[in-house]
Amino acid sequence: MPLLLRRKLLSLRNALAAYTSWQWLRNGAFSLAGFGLLFGIYLGSCRFIVFLNSVPVISSLLLWKLTAMILLTTFGMVLISSLLTSLTTLYYSFDLKFLMNTPLSVRSIFIDKSLESVFFASWAIGLVLVPYVAALVRVNGYGAGFYISFLWLIIPFLLLACSFGIGFTLLLLYFFPSSRTRDVIWVASSFSLTLVYGMLRFAQPEKLIRPDAMGLIAEYLNYLQAPTAPYLPSWWLTKALSAQVAGRPAVFWLYAALLWCSAIAVYGLLVFLSGRLYFEGYSGAQEGGLRRRILIVQDLPELRWIGKVMAPLFWKERKTFLRDVKHWSQILLVLGLVFVYLFSIRRLPLDSAELRSMVSFLNVGAAGFVMAALGLRFAYPSISLEGRSWWVLCAAPIEIKTVMRQKLLFAAVPMTAIALTLGAMTNYLLEADRFISGLSVGSLLIIAWALCAMAIGFGALFPMFAVENIHQIESSLGGFVYMAASLFYIVATIGILAWPVQMHFREHFGDAGAWHWELVVFCVLLWLVLNAAAFFIPWRFGRASLEAFEG
């Protein structure tokens, strides 16, 4: 184990030593953006905790109920994350073929890779808890002891969550030692994440600060005092922290011992079982996938409408998308996101027709942010996902612009469906007036196509053909530039459309001269210029970059 740890430290040192000035600058910018996000969470948490403290009598119950819900959500997210991370790290990591041929025991390799899985599965999610804890200390004056207790107990908490995910993967690969099991885990993880996300929203956390939504005061008090998943480590950590604040050392040490002993026992059991289970699962996971017959595309009548050249490309894109379970399984996440989004719209406490129409217009911005995130996940990586086979398209008698058009068409179809769903269903649920309904749906359709064009253009401008997974593409410099440009485009769109919307509401409230047609024409021209820039500038630079790409 010391040798394996030294290997990781040397690898980290060598990676840092190989960084160029540009890489240091880029990573520094990403780090500053990350710290800015954490600081924003800290400020929001401070304001919310101050609000909870202003509630008489039950402020303490509200605070610890909120903490229990946050820790329960964190536990579920880390558990699901560990399913995917442990699958990749324990069975498909690039250095496993080297480690398995060294004179190391299987248990030593398992410990090394499992701890690596724990770190990568939990560090980001656990880091988001730090601003909330800092806000608790800052607002309530809990002192340094609370920090120390949290940092000491978060280790077994995260280890337990990851151990459950690692244990499930270990047993599944042992009983079903096949590369196809990886696909099952991807689908199960996507479904579980969708379920956790939906359950969190359907629990209606707004009840925490709206006792009027629960009918009876007694029912509300019972809701606050009831344990939140009492048999899970999230409740143990909540009780330990609350006991530390209340000055009850016996209760604190009881739950602290429960956390640490459970974490050591569960992880120790995994290490013991790994000697019998790990290698057999690893060996079975290395087998090749199912042999597939290569088809020669001669006639695709269902795709003939897009042209003889683009039809084979579209057919190839559809086949590769459906074959890779990591892509289509995330459709479950998209469906869950859309359903929860519409559920949240339905639950908004809006009393007047004008307010509902205004929220329907603002939905253009919110839905635009959702589609920008989906574009980053599905459209932006499409060029880079060609990988090392990109040379095949370059060698074929096909122009680069045709390949990009096919990518745009394939991504725009589902994005258009999502835009129609979010726009039309929101207008229906909010009963928006005819003008706002038409404006919001039409603008969302244009936004969907513009975001797809930007994603394909920036993906072509910053291609990454030699990556191990799609997340490296999304989190790259090009992904950051795409998201920044997308957010600017959405904000600019809302700003331009706000002028005619303001005129519409002024006319609705009795102002006969509300409409200024010169300003309307100016807004239309400005919007056309904005969309033309969003469509053609990234597209042109991306096409030029791909045409000059030498491999």
Q: What are 382-421's pLDDT values in tens digits? A: 888 887 777 787 777 788 888 888 888 888 888 898 888 8
Nearest to 164 by CA among 238, 94, 77, 91: 77
Do 138 and 49 contact (CB within 8 A), yes or no? no
Q: What's the confidence (pLDDT) of residue 516?
A: 85
Looking at every residue in the chain, the average pLDDT score rounds to: 80
Task: Identify the residue with better confidence: 422 or 472.
Answer: 422
pTM of the complete model: 0.63
What pLDDT is stored for residue 468 in this prediction? 58
Could you tell me which residue, 165 or 202, shows the higher pLDDT? 165
Q: From CA 259, how far away is CA 233, in angstroms rounded?
A: 7
In the chain, domain spans: 59-285, 312-547
Task: Report percent pLDDT > 70 for the chain.
Answer: 80
Residue of higher predicted confidence among 56 and 529: 529
Model pLDDT for residues 298-346, shown as the tens digit of each residue: 445 455 555 666 677 777 777 777 666 566 556 666 676 677 777 777 7
Distance CA 7, CA 155 (A): 23
Using a CB cutoff of 8 Å and minimum separation of 24, what contacts does 471-480 make? 473/380, 473/381, 473/384, 473/385, 474/376, 474/377, 474/380, 474/381, 477/26, 478/380, 479/376, 479/380, 480/29, 480/30, 480/33
The percentage of residues in the chain with a pLDDT greater than 90, rounded to a whole number, is 16
161 contacts 234 by C-beta, under 8 angstroms: no
